[in-house]
């Protein structure tokens, strides 16, 4: 049986992991399992940007996948970037095995607002479905409410759902 592995990266047993796992299992119809992988987070740090390379973290995540891994999603709390963008909420291999998401810019604290853990978890679920959708070969979706709709700003994430639209579900055989 293949699984989607959820890998907290330098996060100590987050209380929301069960909610995320349930969301992933419901969305993709695949059992999810939480586990730890050895990730050298300092190796992905770029001192010039004071951020972490999502691509370097992704490379470590997919280096030695478990034999039953269909997908691997890393979850971290650090600020991620790719060279051509100021920041990213996450990164995924298109039609590949791996993806990574960050909580850093999903928290209200980043924007100087009062903490709202439920909102942060909701945003995490949306971005996790978004990045995992890319690993199933989905491109950004033009449908406004679809989880695969592009998210440049956190407000974009708040406007969409954690569900895939009928066209995206159909494209990956979930309809």
Both tokens assigned to 36: 């730890």
Query: Could you report how far apart the first and last alpha carbons of the chain are, in Å?
Result: 21
Active site residue: 15, 115, 131, 163, which one? 131
- Let me know: does 110 contact 104? Beta carbons within 8 Å: yes
Strand partners, 90: 101
Active site residue 131: yes
> Which residues does 41 contact at the CB level (< 8 Å), separation at least 6?
9, 10, 52, 57, 76, 78
Residues with a catalytic annotation lie at 131
């Amino acid at each position: 049986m293949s699984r989607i592995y959820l890998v907290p990266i330098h996060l100590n047993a987050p209380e929301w992991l069960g909610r995320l796992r349930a969301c992933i299992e419901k969305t993709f119809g695949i059992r999810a399992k939480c586990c730890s992988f050895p990730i050298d987070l300092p190796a992905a740090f770029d001192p010039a940007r004071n951020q972490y390379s999502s691509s370097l973290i992704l490379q470590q995540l997919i280096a030695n996948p478990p034999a039953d891994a269909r997908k691997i999603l890393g979850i971290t709390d650090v600020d991620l970037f790719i060279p051509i963008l100021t920041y990213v909420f996450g990164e995924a291999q298109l039609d590949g095995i791996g993806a990574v998401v960050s909580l850093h810019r999903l928290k209200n604290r980043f924007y100087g607002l009062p903490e709202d853990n439920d909102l942060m978890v909701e945003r995490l679920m949306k971005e996790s479905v978004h990045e995992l959708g890319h690993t199933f070969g989905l491109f950004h979706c033009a449908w406004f409410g679809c989880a695969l709709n592009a998210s440049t700003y956190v407000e974009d994430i708040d406007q969409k759902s954690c569900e895939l639209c009928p066209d995206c579900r159909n494209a990956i055989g979930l309809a």
